[in-house]
Chains A and B, each alone.
Chain A
Amino acid sequence: MVEVKEPNPEFTRKVIDAGGKTVNLCFQCGTCTGSCPSGRQTAFRVRKVVRRAQLGFEEDVLPSEDLWLCTTCYTCYERCPRGVEIVDIIMALRNMAVRKGYMAESHRKVAELISKTGHLVSLRDEDKALRKKLGLQDVPPTVFSSAQSLEEVKKIAALCGFDKLVATGGKS
């Protein structure tokens, strides 16, 4: 039996509002997939991601691993003959996916580090020593040197609900 899925324009609308305003311009030529460095190494086909977003197949697209295989290299975006802003669509979908709890633990950890320290890389003693040796300030003049700045960055995370998102990985 062939199962025919009904399009869900409501979800498509959400994608459009979240930055994917060009999603309906896609005519499925596949130039994007043919240009994709990630698709060369994996079964990820970006054309299909765009199609699913266009038809509003939320359950197919949000939980999918494919969504996370894009390196945001913009090659497809540059070459698309219809001017579909593919990376913006992927970003909109990823933002929705994490709010539904589809966030890899490795990603949650990176997000946690930045929301707590303001940087996505830690400052170790060996880094300080090397900086000093090179004639640089051992602690960089960034949030690492200013408690007030760190507070500000944390407040932004709280105001955006980003602290909660990383604490729970989007799972309520």
Chain B
Amino acid sequence: MSKYAFFLGCIMPLRYPGIESASREVFKSLGVELVDMQGASCCPAPGVMRSFDQTYWMAVAARNLAIAEKMGVDGVLTICNGCFDTLFEVAHKLNHDPDLRKKINKILKDATGMEYNGTVHVRHFVELLYRDIGVEAIRARAKSGKNLKAAVHYGCHFLKPSNIKKIDDAERPHVFDDIVEAAGMTSVMYKDKGMCCGAGGGVRARTPDVALKMTAENLKNMTAAGVDIIVDCCPFCHLQYDVGQVQLKEYKIPVLHLSQLLGLAFGLEREKLGLEVHQTKVNLPT
């Protein structure tokens, strides 16, 4: 049985805790043990914090990595594209650049007494599902899924930058679609699939109207393809589609994080999925 440090981040535990409980249940049922990272913080967010001060961004991320390193686990599991991006990218830099690691470790040691030794493997949950669990195991487990037309939204930082992440083709990916289909859904092609939800890079905080215009364009394209649901793999994209539809008033497409979709397909109790806090109502055929 594999064992991972479970990185919570901010938006999942605080705004969509249903994604957290669904993830815990889904990974338990697939035989992956998740261990809490006591005292972890924000990753910190790649869009805003990296934009302000890259040294601070790396030092706080290194603290999170150092906590995981001490746990003696197979790696860190992230449920969010933003957390994945920060932890993966900072681990990549620090694992490969001893001089930079020395510089960041000086700050880390002064502040915490810990050092990061450059050994942590950072995983995105979709990548772990695809590579370690496998599509067939998910298909075998997913007995309760209703066949719905799904708009799969990869978001940006799961696959990109692809030169270091090396998970799938950034222009024509399939790993996430394959899992959604294994859960009994039909993944529908839509115009400009792969476009950003609009929220990243601090754009949602600074110019929410610009972010919402990008969201609206995606929603228009998804609607034209006749989808029943949106499936995301990132609580921030999730928030942008869920709250964005209420702000735009025009659209009412239920938004599910992949962990919630798998929860439904695996026949987990609906109460464990926290769907009632979604602002865009999740009315699905039962």
**What is A's interface to B at a CB cutoff of 8 Å?**
18-19, 37-38, 40-42, 68-75, 77-78, 87, 91, 94-95, 98, 103-104, 106-107, 110-111, 114, 118-123, 127, 130-131, 134-136, 140-143, 145-146, 148-149, 152-153, 155-157, 159-162, 165-166
Q: Is the CB of B51 within 8 A of A94?
A: yes
Residue of A nearest to B272 (CB): A134
Given contacts A41-B210, A120-B44, A155-B110, contact A70 B54 (CB under 8 A): no
Across the interface, A141 reaches (CB within 8 A) one of B21, B38, B194, B203, namely B38
Q: Is the CB of A111 within 8 A of B210?
A: no
State the Cβ distance, A116 to closest chain B Cβ, in Å.
Answer: 12
State the Cβ distance, B141 to closest chain A Cβ, in Å.
Answer: 21
Q: Is the CB of B54 within 8 A of A37?
A: no
Interface of chain B residues 1 through 52 with chain A (CB within 8 A): 8, 10-11, 13-15, 17-18, 20-21, 24, 36-42, 44-52
Q: Is the CB of B53 within 8 A of A119?
A: no
Contacts of A122 in B (CB 8 A): 14
Q: Is the CB of B49 within 8 A of A114?
A: yes
Q: Is the CB of A120 within 8 A of B38?
A: no
Contacts A70-B201, A110-B48 known; 7 new A-B pairs at CB < 8 A: A38-B203, A71-B196, A71-B203, A75-B160, A98-B53, A104-B206, A140-B8
Given contacts A37-B214, A72-B200, A160-B53, contact A142 B48 (CB under 8 A): no
Interface of chain B residues 145 through 161 with chain A (CB within 8 A): 156-157, 160-161
Across the interface, A107 reaches (CB within 8 A) one of B20, B24, B200, B205, namely B205
Q: Is the CB of B107 within 8 A of A134?
A: no
State the Cβ distance, B34 to closest chain A Cβ, in Å.
Answer: 12
Q: Is the CB of A141 within 8 A of B200?
A: no
B contact residues, total (Cβ < 8 Å): 67
State the Cβ distance, A156 to closest chain B Cβ, in Å.
Answer: 5
State the Cβ distance, A38 to closest chain B Cβ, in Å.
Answer: 7
Q: Is the CB of A141 within 8 A of B10?
A: no
Binds A, one of B56-64, B120-128, B245-253: B56-64
State the Cβ distance, B155 to closest chain A Cβ, in Å.
Answer: 9
Q: Is the CB of B213 within 8 A of A41?
A: yes
Contacts of A120 in B (CB 8 A): 10, 42, 44-45, 48
Contacts of A37 in B (CB 8 A): 195-196, 198, 214, 217
Q: Is the CB of A134 within 8 A of B41?
A: no
Q: How far is the CA of A23 from the CA of B158 in the complex (A)?
A: 25
